[in-house]
Amino acid sequence: MGNPRTHLANSLHLHSLPLSIADMPEVLTFIESNLDRFRAELYEFLRIPSISAKTEHAEDTRRSAQWLADRMRDAGLEVEIIETPGHPVVLGEWRGAGEAAPTVLVYGHYDVQPPEPLEEWVSPPFEPNERDGRIYARGSADDKGQLYMHIKALEALLTTNGSMPVNVVVLAEGEEETGSPNLVPFVETNLDRLACDVVLISDTSMFSEELPSLGFSLRGLAYFEIHVSGARSDLHSGEYGGAITNPGNALAHILATLHDKKGRVAIEGFYDDVVEWDSKTRAQIESLPHSDEQYREELGVKKLNGEHGFSTLERLWIRPTCDVNGLLCGYTGEGAKTVLPNHAMAKVSFRLVPNQTDGKVRDLFEKHVQHVTPEGVTVQINELHGGRPWKASVEGRYFEAATQALEEAFGTTPVLMGSGGSIPIVVEFEERLSAPVMLVGFSLPGCNLHAPNEWLPVENFERGIGALALLYQKLAN
C-alpha cells in the first residue's frame, strides 16, 4: 500500500518542469495523507446501489445524488440538486477564479449498471472489496470512482491553497447508463450556467496499465428491440410445425442477414456516411503497443474476428458494428418442450462512427428488416437509445496541459486512443457549449465495466487524483 503513494510524489518531483506547480508539494502531501479517508468515502458512495435502470432503486439513486452533493459541498463547492423528469442532476460550482480565468466543466455520472448475474461476483457488487490492489464494486470504474477522483482533487486544491486558478462547474447526472434522456433539455435550459472553456470527463479507460491516455473518439449508438410475432398463441410443434412461419426461425433468419462474409454490416447504405479517418490518426493507432495474440488470450476466444481489412484497434475505434445484445424466444427451461413459440425478440445495437446518425441507421435498419422478413409474421422495431459518435480535435492549450499533467503524474507521455464505447452527451456539450471536450480516463481495459467483478486499480485512484489536481492548475496557463 505504501508504495504507490510515494511513487506519485516521486514521479511528480522528478518531472517538475517549469510550471505553476510551486504549491504542488503541499497539495500532494494533502492527497497522500488523506488517501485512506478518500477511499473510505468512495466505499460509502459505492455501497449505494444507484441502478438508474431499475424503478425499485429510484430512492437509492436519489440517495446517491444526495451523498455526492454533500461531499461536493465538503470539498468547497456550492452545490445544488436539480430535479429532472428522471433522476436529479448534481451541480457543483466554484467560481472564485474570476471572470478572466478559464472555466472547466467536469462531467460524470453517479448511476451504475445493474449488477446481474449476481452469482458471478466474487464479492457482492455493492460491498466494495479490495483484492490485489483493485477496488471491486459496481461503479468503481464506471463512473463513481473516476468522478470522485475529481471531487478529491478539487478538495485538495481548495483546502491546501484556498483557491484555484480556474473556475470549476461539476455536472453529475444519474441517467447516463439509461441513455441520458433528460440531459440535453437540462443543458439547453442551463446554457449560461454551464458556459465553459473546456469540458473534462473521466469516464473512459487508459490504453494499458503503463500508459496514461487522452481520448480522441467515442462511438455513437443506435439500440433497437426487434419483435417478431406469429400465431395467436404458442402451438404444438408437431401438430402445427411446417404449416406456418415460426417467429424464432424468422428472427434467426433476419439476424443472419445483418452481416456479410467479410464481417461488414450488410444493410444497404450503412457505410455511406462513414468517414475515412485521416492518415495521422491511423498511424497513431498503428503505433500503439497492441498484441492481437495477447488480446485474444485475455478474452479467451479461439480467434479474433471482425471487418476484413482493418486491425483490431481500428475495428474497435473507427469502424461501426452491429451486435445482438440479447435474445428471447420459446422454451429455454430444463429438458425438451416441443413448441412453436408465437413471439421472438432480439436486442440489437449498432456502434456508430462519424458521420453516421442513429436516425438514419434506424431508417436503414427498418427498411432492411422489412425486406428480409419471411412472410407470415409481423415485425416491430422499437428504438431504445440513440447517440451520435464523436471525434476530438486533439490540439490546443488545454490538450497540452492535460498531456503534461498526465506525463508528470504517471512518469510517461500519454498516448492518444479511441474508445469503442459511447458517451452520447459529449457531442452535445461540444456543440451547444462550443467548448472542446477532453477525455481523461483512469480505468483499464479488463476492469469489467457493466460486467461482474468491476474493479478500479487503487494505484490509478491515487495517481489520478494527483494528476487531476495538477491538471486543474495547468488549465489556467
Which residues sit at the interface with ligand BES, rule CB under 6 A?
142-143, 176-177, 179, 203-205, 221, 385, 387, 419, 421-424, 449
419 touches which of ligand BES, Mn ion, none (CB within 5 to 8 A by kind)? ligand BES
Where do runs of H (alpha helix) occur along 257-357?
Answer: 279-286, 292-299, 312-317
Q: What is the DSSP string of 399-441?
A: HHHHHHHHHHHHSSPPEEE--SS--THHHHHHHHH---EEE--
Answer with the entry of ligand BES, Mn ion, none that 341 interacts with (C-beta below 5 to 8 A by kind): none
Q: Report whether 238 contacts 212 (CB < 8 A).
A: no
Nearest distance from C-beta of residue 18 to ligand BES, angstroms: 34
Number of residues assigned to the chain: 477
Residue 103 Cβ vs Mn ion, minimum distance, rounded to whole Å: 23
Q: What's the rounded Cα separation, in Å, for the pair 393 and 384?
A: 30
Compute φ and ψ for 380, nearest 5 degrees. Answer: -130, 135
| Candidate segments 15-23, 196-204, 213-221, 397-405, binder of Mn ion by CB under 5 A | 196-204
CA distance 422 to 320: 12
- Does position 407 interact with Mn ion (CB under 5 A)? The reply is no
Q: Hey, what's the cell of 24?
A: 504542488
Residue among 88 and 389 whose Cβ is closer to ligand BES: 389
Name which of ligand BES, Mn ion, none residue 387 binds, using a CB cut-off of 5 to 8 Å depending on partner kind.
ligand BES
The answer to whether the bond into 355 is cis (omega within 30° of 0) is yes
Nearer to Mn ion, 142 or 428 (CB): 142
Nearest distance from residue 267's CB to ligand BES, in Å? 20
Which C-beta is closer to ligand BES: that of 234 or that of 383?
Answer: 383
The one-letter code for the residue type at 416 is L
Q: Does 203 bind Mn ion (CB under 5 A)?
A: yes
CB of 71 to ligand BES, least distance (A): 20
Distance CA(91)–CA(159), nearest Å, equals: 20
Q: Does 142 bind Mn ion (CB under 5 A)?
A: yes
Cross-strand partners of 213:
415
CB of 246 to ligand BES, least distance (A): 31
* Only segment of 32-40, 53-61, 197-205, 393-401 that touches Mn ion (CB under 5 A): 197-205
Nearer to Mn ion, 218 or 254 (CB): 218
Nearer to ligand BES, 142 or 459 (CB): 142
**Least distance to ligand BES from the beta carbon of 233, Å?**
35
Q: With CB cut-offs between 5 and 8 Å by kind, which of ligand BES, Mn ion, none does residue 421 bind?
A: ligand BES
Say which residue the cell 425486406 belongs to.
371
Task: Identify which of 369, 331, 324, 375 has the alpha carbon closest to the alpha carbon of residue 346.
Answer: 324
Decide which of Mn ion, ligand BES, none touches 204; Cβ closer than 5 to 8 Å per partner kind: ligand BES
Q: Residue 366 has which C-alpha cell?
A: 427498418
Binding-site residue total for Mn ion (CB under 5 A)? 3
- Cβ proximity to ligand BES, 219 vs 343, nearer residue: 219
Neighbours of 90 (CB within 10 A): 27
Q: What is the dihedral of CA 358, 361, 367, 369, to 10 degrees?
A: -90
- Min dist. Cβ of residue 113 to ligand BES (A): 7
**Residue whose Cβ sits closest to ligand BES:** 421
Nine-digit cell string for 32: 497522500
C-beta of 125 vs 421, nearer to ligand BES: 421
Q: Are 27 and 19 in contact (CB under 8 A)?
A: no
Q: What is the edge-to-edge ordering of all strands in the sheet holding 213-215?
A: 78-82, 89-94, 167-173, 103-109, 198-201, 437-439, 213-215, 415-417
Residue 241, strand partner residues: 244
- Could you tell which of ligand BES, Mn ion, none binds residue 49, using a CB distance below 5 to 8 A set by kind? none
Q: Which three cell numbers stand for residue 322?
A: 452491429
| Least Å from the CB of residue 218 to Mn ion | 11
Among residues 60, 143, 454, 462, the one that binds Mn ion under rule CB under 5 A: 143
Least distance in angstroms from the C-beta of 188 to ligand BES = 19
Applying CB under 5 A, the residues found at the interface with Mn ion are 142-143, 203
